[in-house]
Structure 1
Amino acid sequence: MKITFLGAAGEVTGSQHLIETDRLRILLDCGLFQGHRLEARRKNEKFHCDPKNLDGVILSHAHADHCGNLPGLYKAGFRGPIFCTPATADVTDIMLHDSAHIQEEDARYLNRKHPPDAPRILPLYNDDHVTEVVKLLETIPYGEWHELSKDLRLRFQEAGHILGSAITEIEIRDKGDWKRIVFTGDLGRRGTPLLHNPQRVEGCDVLITESTYGNRIHPPEDDIKTQLKAILNRAARRGGRVIIPAFSLGRTQTFIYFLNELHNAGELPSIPVFVDSPLSYEITSIYRKHASSLDAAFHRRLQSDRDPFSFPGLRYIGSQSESMGLNQRKGSFAVISASGMCEAGRVVHHLLHGLQDPNNIVLLIGYQAENTLGRRIQERMPVVRVLDQDIELLADVEVLQGLSAHADAEDFKWWFEGLGAVRGVGRAFIVHGEQESAVALSQLLDHVCDEPPTIPQFGESFEV
């Protein structure tokens, strides 16, 4: 059996891992590379997995860096099944239609920048490709083994990362021998709002694990709330605004849930809060639809609060004109807007209008990949480029790492102990992390592996 790493290898975005046996070719995830527009586009335009000859895709969850290039795969000839959980299917439908809109907007933008006689740039894919690829989604509930063929069995377990996210257990036959593969997708944390804890699984012949925060410990929930109150109060005193770039899927819902808790406890500063993302509104509706999949604490909350994703003073913004109006609004307010890495969407316009005011605060609540605007703001570069304008960064920048939906070192240690309880791991591959975090994670994992863990780079293949 051969495994080739075609994304999220030596970096965080673009998750794609190809498994090949003598009979099957299976792709784990098909995500978009994110970062500098032109560089990311070059990566996303070309597939290295021969889409027409894939037997299927197994999708861990619906974040764009894991599902976002499925329509591109379809456009390149893929017609096989895509296996995922029911909630992931619902969210993927919404996420991919939104992504198609972004692709079309990006193409229009780039064409305006090119000379009139230059070749026209086309979107990576369009809405029609999304409509067709959604038809290929086949849902499998958590905890049940499914025979996909005489050579392949599949089971999903709760990953605790976002709604519908799954740890993938695969039993695959290669040259007559059965091998067990476990793919974490993005592993979640224990004790976070809304979601169940990640499910421990038994050891395996091959482990493919993410490592985003393998070198750090997230602060406890109470510390996050204390910091959040302090930031909102500071903005209120100054008369400034708080600009919160947030992924529409997962991060926005968790952040609103925290604000709802503060409101219910009488601790939320009295400033308006706007969710300026139509996509976030749609995703929140999916969370409501799949409320039965959320944790016990959420259901206890429902006994006294009929909608934990809303509270007085919170408003979801729909139209573009309403969004533009926020940039002319006077006084203190907070705006939660996509995208989480500040590369596209409405948040970019809020940053354009807000970064030069020292009374304002940019609150980063998620991972910022290298070469993104979000990373440059996080690193407090004195001047950042926003919508082709050089903007002086005078606003305060705050980072709340504790809201991450990714496992930290303690979560990984706990989860790896479960792998080692019965049989351990034959061979481990560490992906979806920058070098420092991947190396730290390899040290946590080493004691349960037969061989030292491997940190693959893009395009590397391994016989296992």
Structure 2
Amino acid sequence: MSVRIRFLGGAGTVTGSKYLVEHEDQSLLVDCGLFQGYKQLRLRNRDPLPVLPNHIGAVLLTHAHLDHSGYLPLLAREGFHGKVWVTPATRDLAAILLPDSGHIQEEDAAFANRKGFSKHAPALPLYTESDALQSLKLLRTVPMQQAFEPLRGWSARFSGAGHILGAASVLLEVGGRRILFSGDLGRPDDALMLAPEPPPAADVVVCESTYGDREHPEEDVLAELGPALQRVAARGGTAVVPVFAVGRAQALLHAIAQLKASGNLPHGLPVYLDSPMAIHSTELFARHLGEHRLSAAQCRDMEQVAHMTRSVDESKAIARQHGPKVILSASGMATGGRVLHHLVQYLGDHRNMVLLTGYQAPGTRGATLARGGTQLRIHGQDWPVRAEVVQLASASAHADASQLLGWLRSMPRAPVRVFVTHGDMEASDALRHRIEAELRWRALVPEHGSTWAA
């Protein structure tokens, strides 16, 4: 019987990654992500999967970002009881991200019910913090480059993908087929993370395309970030920096520590890391030395450069601190979390700045700011945007188009087919075209819900 791949997420969009692999009477999911961004995408999170959760034998997570892992608590609550295979660092990060995701969803639902701006009565979270904690019991760790058997007769192996702590590509061998899932690939020249490992030979590749139509600028993040923060500090303003709690927050803290050490930022400029999730994630770097580029001393500098605001009261107190300051707060696309309260506080003043630090998926508040929106809807109310909005082009943790192509080109032999996924349609199709034109390989952008068999 053939091996089938069903594209249940991450197809034609940069979010919700879920790839169901089926052979004979067994199946597993590679990634189990939440849809984010446009409402019509977010609504997919509440649609039942086309396969019963208790019919899925196992889950393999490439990394812990919610667009790859955030559906897991719901899958478990709905009846999945198999093992979830992850790298050790992904386990540590998932233990932070998933409960926090459930907690935020509960808070957002409660806030919507108090303010009465939800169309649902009552508004309900997709899952709870308790659901997330229960799902963590299913996680099983395996080191990079160690073969394991997620299901009887199936073989899998993780290899380093860069991007964030624990991020991996996955080689799956089943039914005589070798299927390689890239996961999210990092940059070879990333300041924090190691370069992605060269890919193994495979018959089929499922490759991400977040930056499939773009090239990163030659200047580094220090050259962009320094002048922006100098500018807002000189006018006595506040820089609100929406950050992904895992990866981007640490990259920005490391850059700010370097700028202060070199004298390119005043030592006295207050910096706040206002995200318990980001604080815990930052602490993990010291526990996973050797899995990234930072030394123990640089990890300490990264932690000490900011005031760590853990409680809600500490977060609220930031607004009472007068004078210039920098606030790093999740989430990175301003889809939820504490950063929304800071945006409400600071968006309306021209002295302030919003620093966008990476990819902003269409339909998110970050995308609205990036395209020059003059109003931002937060908690059912429109807020005027008078603050300066700056988008850093050099802060991305994703490989750009040429780097993705270089990773593919380093495969020992040409695959039979490349499926280009996890990108906006324009980015995915641009990468598909380059793969066909430059590598002479067969490439396809699959549609959501489609199936490939061989």
TM range (shorter): over 0.9
Question: Residue in 2 aligned with 1:455?
Answer: 445
Q: Given the alignment of the two structures, is residue 322 of structure 1 paired with residue 314 of structure 2, yes or no?
A: yes
Check conservation: 1:425, 1:450, Cα contact below 8 A.
no
Amino acid paired to 1:96: L
Deviates more, 1:126-135 or 1:88-97: 126-135
Q: Given the alignment of the two structures, is residue 198 of structure 1 paired with residue 185 of structure 2, yes or no?
A: no
Going from structure 1 to structure 2, the CA distance change for 1:408 and 1:346 (only over 3 Å counts) comes to: same
Q: How many Å separate the matches in 1 of 2:117 and 2:313?
A: 31
Going from structure 1 to structure 2, the CA distance change for 1:201 and 1:82 (only over 3 Å counts) comes to: same
Report the alpha carbon displacement of residue 127 of structure 1 after superposing the two structures with TM. 2.7
Question: Residue in 2 aligned with 1:347?
Answer: 339
Alignment partner of 2:430 out of 408, 428, 440: 440
Question: Residue in 1 aligned with 2:33?
Answer: 31
Going from structure 1 to structure 2, the CA distance change for 1:146 and 1:456 (only over 3 Å counts) comes to: same
Alignment partner of 1:260 out of 245, 257, 261: 257
Q: How many Å separate the matches in 2 of 1:306 and 1:341?
A: 25
Q: Which runs of 5+ in 1 are unaligned?
A: none
Q: Given the alignment of the two structures, is residue 241 of structure 1 paired with residue 243 of structure 2, yes or no?
A: no
Check conservation: 1:425, 1:449, Cα contact below 8 A.
no
Q: TM (normalized to structure 2)?
A: 0.94
The percent identity for this pair of structures is 37
Going from structure 1 to structure 2, the CA distance change for 1:123 and 1:74 (only over 3 Å counts) comes to: same
Check conservation: 2:85, 2:150, Cα contact below 8 A.
no
Q: Given the alignment of the two structures, is residue 426 of structure 1 paired with residue 416 of structure 2, yes or no?
A: yes
Q: How many Å separate the matches in 1 of 2:313 and 2:82?
A: 41
Where has structure 1 moved over 6 Å in runs of 4 or more?
115-118
Q: Which runs of 5+ in 2 are unaligned?
A: none
Check conservation: 2:29, 2:60, Cα contact below 8 A.
yes
Amino acid paired to 1:163: L
Amino acid paired to 1:234: R
Q: How many Å separate the matches in 2 of 1:462 and 1:401?
A: 35
Amino acid paired to 1:352: V
Check conservation: 1:426, 1:450, Cα contact below 8 A.
no
Q: Secondary structure at the match of 2:300?
A: coil
Q: Given the alignment of the two structures, is residue 153 of structure 1 paired with residue 155 of structure 2, yes or no?
A: yes
Amino acid paired to 2:302: F
Deviations 1:279-315 (A, max 9, x none): 11111112221123223xx23xx4x657131345x21
Q: How many Å separate the matches in 2 of 1:78 and 1:306?
A: 38
Report the alpha carbon displacement of residue 63 of structure 1 after superposing the two structures with TM. 0.2
Q: Given the alignment of the two structures, is residue 281 of structure 1 paired with residue 271 of structure 2, yes or no?
A: no
Going from structure 1 to structure 2, the CA distance change for 1:388 and 1:121 (only over 3 Å counts) comes to: closer
Deviations 1:16-52 (A, max 9, x none): 1111111321111111111256861453453233211
Q: How many Å separate the matches in 1 of 2:441 and 2:119?
A: 56
Question: Residue in 1 aligned with 2:227?
Answer: 230
Q: How many Å separate the matches in 1 of 2:223 and 2:153?
A: 52
Check conservation: 2:12, 2:421, Cα contact below 8 A.
yes
Check conservation: 1:425, 1:448, Cα contact below 8 A.
no
Q: How many Å separate the matches in 2 of 1:348 and 1:112?
A: 17
Q: How many Å separate the matches in 2 of 1:80 and 1:276?
A: 35
Check conservation: 1:56, 1:82, Cα contact below 8 A.
yes
Amino acid paired to 2:260: H
Deviates more, 1:397-406 or 1:449-458: 449-458
Report the alpha carbon displacement of residue 404 of structure 1 after superposing the two structures with TM. 0.7
Deviates more, 1:436-445 or 1:264-273: 264-273
Check conservation: 1:6, 1:17, Cα contact below 8 A.
yes
Number of corresponding residues: 451
Check conservation: 2:86, 2:139, Cα contact below 8 A.
yes
Q: Secondary structure at the match of 1:49?
A: coil
Q: TM (normalized to structure 1)?
A: 0.92
Check conservation: 1:184, 1:210, Cα contact below 8 A.
yes
Going from structure 1 to structure 2, the CA distance change for 1:112 and 1:458 (only over 3 Å counts) comes to: farther
Report the alpha carbon displacement of residue 364 of structure 1 after superposing the two structures with TM. 0.1
Amino acid paired to 1:250: G
Deviations 1:358-416 (A, max 9, x none): 11111000211111111101111122212222111111110112111111022112101
Going from structure 1 to structure 2, the CA distance change for 1:39 and 1:21 (only over 3 Å counts) comes to: closer
Q: Given the alignment of the two structures, is residue 308 of structure 1 paired with residue 305 of structure 2, yes or no?
A: no
Going from structure 1 to structure 2, the CA distance change for 1:115 and 1:441 (only over 3 Å counts) comes to: closer
Deviates more, 1:197-206 or 1:444-453: 444-453
Going from structure 1 to structure 2, the CA distance change for 1:237 and 1:127 (only over 3 Å counts) comes to: closer
Question: Residue in 1 aligned with 2:179?
Answer: 181
Going from structure 1 to structure 2, the CA distance change for 1:292 and 1:224 (only over 3 Å counts) comes to: closer
Q: How many Å separate the matches in 1 of 2:125 and 2:344?
A: 25
Check conservation: 1:44, 1:69, Cα contact below 8 A.
no
Amino acid paired to 1:394: R
Q: How many Å separate the matches in 1 of 2:369 and 2:207?
A: 29
Going from structure 1 to structure 2, the CA distance change for 1:306 and 1:255 (only over 3 Å counts) comes to: closer
Q: How many Å separate the matches in 1 of 2:140 and 2:291?
A: 18
Q: Given the alignment of the two structures, is residue 53 of structure 1 paired with residue 43 of structure 2, yes or no?
A: no
Alignment partner of 2:122 out of 105, 114, 120: 120
